[in-house]
Structure 1
Amino acid sequence: MRFQTLAFLFAGAMLSSVLAIAAPALAADAPAAPSIAECEPGGPCAHPLPVKVVIVSLFEIGKDEGDVAGEFQLWKARRGLTQRIPFPQSFHDLYYNPETQVLGMVTGIGTARSTAATLALGLDQRFDLTQAYWLVAGIAGIDPEDASIGSVAWARYVVDGDLAHEIDAREIPSDWKSGYFPRNTKGPNDMTTKPDPSGGEIYTVNPTLEKWAFDLTKDIELPDSPAIAAERAKFTDYPHAQEAPFVLEGDTLSAMTFWHGEKLTDWANDWVRYWSGGRGDFVTSAMEDTGVMQSMTYLDNIGRADRDRVLVVRAGSNFTMPPPGVDAATYLLRENEGYAGLEAAVENLYTVGSKVVDELLGNWDRYKDATP
């Protein structure tokens, strides 16, 4: 489950966003970047745009500006991403700031779209991405064992929750914890089979880069609000869920299914623990991150991008399970009407991510040739 991410809530909004991109209203935006205006998307380009940072957003609720903010709006507005660049080979046009050389993209929801969008950008010869840092910044479901909504987690491991064996829960043996278990194992109780990291189920974020980003941001004081305070107060058995938002390290699980509930949260913890060899800790549920990491791995293989310059940060917009006394179905259906922590998650995601972007841009001579 990734902040499982709006697969139901924003399905209609996703369609309207796609239509809005093609609409004549975009003609009011700044024209395509002049230095690549003569280049066709995906074709050869004599003067590719230099890119220092790629902001990877996964969805926008409606318009790119002027309405309820999803993941992209704040970056576009506050980072001056006004130079529109047509990107017909993907979900959403790109936006660029020629002064800071920051590029913003919206992949679209789900692993399939994030994989395609990342690969399409990496192979687009209109851009020089060889020194670019990539910040995957999205909202997420968050485990109440670890933090409250509004908290922001830097991922050390990105784990896939789709590649698996499954049988219906009504048919599982009585001693099985679930009907969902890793490939090449003998069931969910088999913890002796060693995971194969080459299968696409787990990706490790560059440890030194992740640690650098966390150390840079861990002391940021994130704002609280009555709305999220009221929501977290319901989680009486979870001390970390009752804390005000904070920055932490915690791993993310990507899955195309918007899952929810205590039992599936237990599954997510077991899943991340298994694939990370006990080193990981499930904190956030997402959809797109393994797709981005897979594409970055391929792009790195041909020198189009640097896999070691990817960071993944997620902010909790909703809990992955209900509070005590509420059943999973009721809480999930209520959450689909709007996440209590959405506004805080989007704002805090920008606050924390911007600290890293500012450091990279402000000291580019230090970071352009070597990662921190």
Structure 2
Amino acid sequence: MQFVTKYYYWDVVHDGNLKDRLEYVTLSPLILRSSSTERSLTPRSWEKKRHAGQWSDSVVRLDLPRMRASTCALRYLWPLIAAVVVEAVISPKVFIIAFYGDEGNAWLGIPDFNLLAQNITVPGISVKFPDVHCTEDGSICQLVAGEGEINAAISAFSLVVSPLFNLTNTYFLLAGDGGINPKVATIGSVAFAQFAVQVALQYEIDAREKPDNFSSGYIPQGSTSTDSYPRYIYGTEVFQLNDALRQHAMAFARTATLTDSPVAQAYRQQYANVPEFAPALAPPAVVGCDTATSDNWWSGALLGDAFAHFTTLVTNGSATYCTTQQEDSAVLEALLRGHLLRRVDFGRVLHMRTGLRLRSPGSWRERRR
């Protein structure tokens, strides 16, 4: 069992006439260990260290006068030790990330595991969904990050840096619903993405004022035409995930039977007279295709085609515009930064979206969700 302390700070009063310092104090629920060093350390600073791939106990660095360890502990450290809140670190095998209530609730009541066995309040995540849910043994956990890019990014990064979890060997499953392209798949299909594209990260002009030769009002940043690669790159335009992991997940998912219904079958028949929408007529399936992120909940054939074009453009033709949502690029950026901090492994991230809405062939309106 590993332990960490929550981040609190204490001022320690000491006798300035005593020159040397006790510099390292390691706290655990059972042991107080101390050692001396030659370096001068500033008061009120904390450090996390990793040893052999595991997070160590919290190390508190304090500027204290020299004295026997027992005397020092009694006189100076007992109030600090009494104030420290110590909690067990949870090391999940899988972390599910959903984005609103219905997506989160879809994982409840499953006989194989109980996500409500532990409910852990994590500072910094969505105020609408303030608890992370975990099984009794902590092997499976779930975060409901909140909707929209800002909510999703802040919630995901707050999880990544939380001292309550060791996520270094955790697999992350981004699991939600969204719009789906009827040229690629149908309602109820489950799509695993290799690429996530932030499609609205472009210039936009009012479509009523666009040049006649522009297909939409969106123009890649730094460019003067819709067909030019963006010259200004922010670094979040495209995320590419581990395709070997994705292929393994899709193969496993294809052993499941997806839900279909007479209502869904009747809905699909709207596409019978539109040849390019033939995939929309098929039963639900597990498919490999990519995802588009935007805070804007867009509608219309022109916007759909414009974002499909941008998806192809910025991935050099590697990505297939398929599902649409409002959060995933934001979560992936948070996880990528966590990878750079050695808090998570970005190679263990899976993206999964279920098609909830299709483009209507009558109005050609694309509804997201």
**Structure 1 length-normalised TM:** 0.71
- Which one of 69, 92, 100 corresponds to residue 51 of structure 1? 92
Helix, strand or coil: the match of 1:224?
Answer: coil
Matched, 1:318 2:357: yes
- Which one of 274, 278, 281 corresponds to residue 242 of structure 1? 281
Contact 1:220 1:247 survives alignment (8 Å): no
Alignment partner, residue 296 of structure 1: 335
Shift of 1:326: 3.0
Matched, 1:160 2:192: no
Where does 1:164-183 land on structure 2 (aligned, <5 Å)?
Answer: 164-183=202-221
Contact 2:291 2:323 survives alignment (8 Å): yes
**Aligned Cα RMSD in Å?**
2.4
Which protein has the larger Cα radius of gyration, Structure 1 or Structure 2? Answer: 2
Contact 1:146 1:283 survives alignment (8 Å): yes
Contact 1:36 1:49 survives alignment (8 Å): no
Alignment partner, residue 66 of structure 1: none
- In the alignment, structure 2 segments of 5+ residues that lack a partner are 9-45, 47-57, 59-85
Alignment partner, residue 223 of structure 1: 259
Shift of 1:148: 0.9
User: Closer, same or farther in 2 for the Cα pair 1:174/1:194, shift >3 Å?
Assistant: closer
Alignment partner, residue 207 of structure 1: 243
- Higher mean C-alpha displacement, 244-253 vs 160-169: 160-169
- In the alignment, structure 1 segments of 5+ residues that lack a partner are 1-33, 61-69, 340-372
User: Closer, same or farther in 2 for the Cα pair 1:197/1:133, shift >3 Å?
Assistant: farther
Shift of 1:196: 7.4
Contact 2:4 2:89 survives alignment (8 Å): no
Contact 2:301 2:364 survives alignment (8 Å): no
Shift of 1:187: 1.9
**Residues 244-292 of structure 1: per-residue CA shift (max 9 Å, x gap):** 1110001000000111222222112111101111011011001110001
Alignment partner, residue 21 of structure 1: none
Paired residue type of 1:162: A
Paired residue type of 2:341: I
Paired residue type of 1:297: L
Where does 1:260-279 land on structure 2 (aligned, <5 Å)?
Answer: 260-279=299-318
Alignment partner, residue 85 of structure 1: 120
Alignment partner, residue 286 of structure 1: 325
Contact 1:262 1:322 survives alignment (8 Å): no
Alignment partner, residue 17 of structure 1: none
Taking the aligned partners of 2:233 and 2:254, their CA distance within structure 1 comes to 29
Helix, strand or coil: the match of 1:104?
Answer: strand
Alignment partner, residue 26 of structure 2: none
Taking the aligned partners of 1:134 and 1:289, their CA distance within structure 2 comes to 12
Report which of the two has the higher share of strand.
Answer: 2
Helix, strand or coil: the match of 2:122?
Answer: coil
Taking the aligned partners of 1:179 and 1:251, their CA distance within structure 2 comes to 23
Shift of 1:232: 1.1
Where does 1:1-372 land on structure 2 (aligned, <5 Å)?
Answer: 39=6, 47-60=88-101, 70-78=102-110, 79-82=113-116, 83-91=118-126, 92=129, 93-99=131-137, 101-190=139-228, 193=229, 199-236=235-272, 237=274, 238-319=277-358, 321-323=359-361, 325-326=362-363, 328=365
Contact 2:114 2:136 survives alignment (8 Å): no
User: Closer, same or farther in 2 for the Cα pair 1:268/1:218, shift >3 Å?
Assistant: farther
Contact 1:76 1:104 survives alignment (8 Å): no
User: Closer, same or farther in 2 for the Cα pair 1:35/1:231, shift >3 Å?
Assistant: farther
Taking the aligned partners of 1:230 and 1:303, their CA distance within structure 2 comes to 49
User: Closer, same or farther in 2 for the Cα pair 1:298/1:37, shift >3 Å?
Assistant: closer
Taking the aligned partners of 2:140 and 2:4, their CA distance within structure 1 comes to 18
Shift of 1:327: 5.8
Helix, strand or coil: the match of 1:284?
Answer: strand
- Higher mean C-alpha displacement, 79-88 vs 137-146: 79-88
Helix, strand or coil: the match of 1:49?
Answer: coil
Paired residue type of 1:94: V
Taking the aligned partners of 2:338 and 2:178, their CA distance within structure 1 comes to 26
Paired residue type of 2:122: F
Identity across matched positions, percent: 27
Helix, strand or coil: the match of 2:106?
Answer: helix
Paired residue type of 1:72: G
Contact 1:122 1:305 survives alignment (8 Å): yes
- Higher mean C-alpha displacement, 84-93 vs 146-155: 84-93
Taking the aligned partners of 2:142 and 2:7, their CA distance within structure 1 comes to 19
Contact 2:221 2:230 survives alignment (8 Å): no
Taking the aligned partners of 1:218 and 1:327, their CA distance within structure 2 comes to 30
Helix, strand or coil: the match of 2:175?
Answer: strand
Report which of the two has the higher share of helix.
Answer: 1
Shift of 1:189: 3.0
Helix, strand or coil: the match of 1:277?
Answer: coil
Taking the aligned partners of 1:46 and 1:85, their CA distance within structure 2 comes to 11
Shift of 1:77: 2.5
Helix, strand or coil: the match of 1:188?
Answer: coil
Q: Tell me the matched-pair count.
A: 285
**Residues 13-47 of structure 1: per-residue CA shift (max 9 Å, x gap):** xxxxxxxxxxxxxxxxxxxxx99898579x96664
Contact 1:261 1:322 survives alignment (8 Å): no
Shift of 1:54: 0.5
